[in-house]
Amino acid sequence: MTQSDVERVTVNGVELAVTVTGEGPLVLLLHGFPEWSWSWRRQIPALAAAGYRVAAPDQRGYGQSERPPNRRDYTIHHLVGDAAALVRHFSAGSEPEAVVIGHDWGAMVAWSCAQYRPDLFTAVMAMSVPFVPRMDMSLLDLIDATRGDDFHYIRYFQEPGVAEVELEADPTETIRWFAWMASGDRPEVAAPLGDGNQTRLFESGSPPEGIPPFLTAGDLARWAEPFVEGGFTAPLNWYRNLQRNWELTAAWNMTPIAVPAGFVGGAADPVLAPQADGAPNMGLMMMDQFVPDLRTRVLLEGVGHWNQQEAPEETTAAMLDFLSRVRD
């Protein structure tokens, strides 16, 4: 990715930095937390070489894109609106449509894109976060009901200004912590999503010294760069709209995904871990139930949460296989 690849596009009332390359059917790549479009650096050229037009935005609040100051400007409707507007922008002169592929929070946006606008998003592939439909109880209420007063990172992220104190004390160290603790190389004793007996995120375990094997020192610095410059408030605002998102999406309660879909995850991803009682991961079970046209389902052995970075070749191969399935 070079600076010449990046376009600044104003859509849906926000200016976004978008890496664009290639010619052919449009593929929209949506990153997660705490990343930015750079996380797709290994996949972008491969997809372009395979005959696709690739657009990978820094989503609102991230990277070099605009950071609206009002936390209400980060609802799921804003995020899907950004993606839909990008499809229309990059489909100028042709019928607006795209395959949307998202990782982590980007997966949640991608699932929503496919659910709310199947006219624009003809297929969806998610990474790390399986599809879970909007249910009768919100995620925050479910956390409260099941965890009580125990620590949970999503609950910790809710109060404006609280998590920022910890995450912004040393943004590069914060990214190093996330990189280690959600990777397939994390220590066996780590509890990356919290162990219930803590008050801050980093109390859940200490990463090894140095840099995870899937990164270089330059990679770590590059990954952290936008957070050193812009902090974490805007990305955390995505979490601070979870309850509002649940309220806004009542019309889609228990609605399945109707378009062709694919899923890639790391078998060692803590997000995909079995339930505490040993039962299969709830998200994977829900996805199997509510995504009837799931054409690709790949779990990469030994790989954690950052599958595009930890296993770039395998991830790219799964993406190209899925794209060929929905293109033919």
| Residue 17, helix vs strand vs coil | strand
The set of residues, in sequence order, having a beta carbon less than 8 Å from that of 238 and lying 6+ positions away, is 33, 61, 74, 79, 105
pLDDT digits (tens, 9 = 90+) for 83-120: 999 999 999 778 999 999 999 999 999 999 999 999 99
Q: CA-CA distance, 239 to 104, in Å (whole number)?
A: 12
CATH 3.20.20.70, domain 3-327, yes or no: no
Residue 115 near residue 123 (C-beta atoms within 8 A)? no
Q: Which of 78, 89, 152, 305 is catalytic?
A: 305
The set of residues, in sequence order, having a beta carbon less than 8 Å from that of 141 and lying 6+ positions away, is none
The set of residues, in sequence order, having a beta carbon less than 8 Å from that of 269 and lying 6+ positions away, is 128, 182, 184, 303, 304, 305, 307
Domain ranges for the chain: 3-327
Q: Which of 58, 73, 104, 269 is catalytic?
A: 104
Pick the closest to residue 11 from 72, 82, 95, 87 (CA basis). Answer: 82
Check residue 274 and report its DSSP letter.
Answer: P
The set of residues, in sequence order, having a beta carbon less than 8 Å from that of 174 and lying 6+ positions away, is 34, 166, 167, 168, 224, 227, 232
The residue whose two tokens read 């650096």 is: 41
pLDDT digits (tens, 9 = 90+) for 205-249: 889 999 999 999 999 999 999 999 999 999 999 999 999 999 999
pLDDT digits (tens, 9 = 90+) for 167-212: 999 999 999 999 999 999 998 866 666 666 789 999 888 899 999 9
pLDDT digits (tens, 9 = 90+) for 28-45: 999 999 999 999 999 999
Question: Is 104 among the residues known to form the active site?
Answer: yes
Residue 205's pLDDT is 81
Residue 37 near residue 31 (C-beta atoms within 8 A)? yes
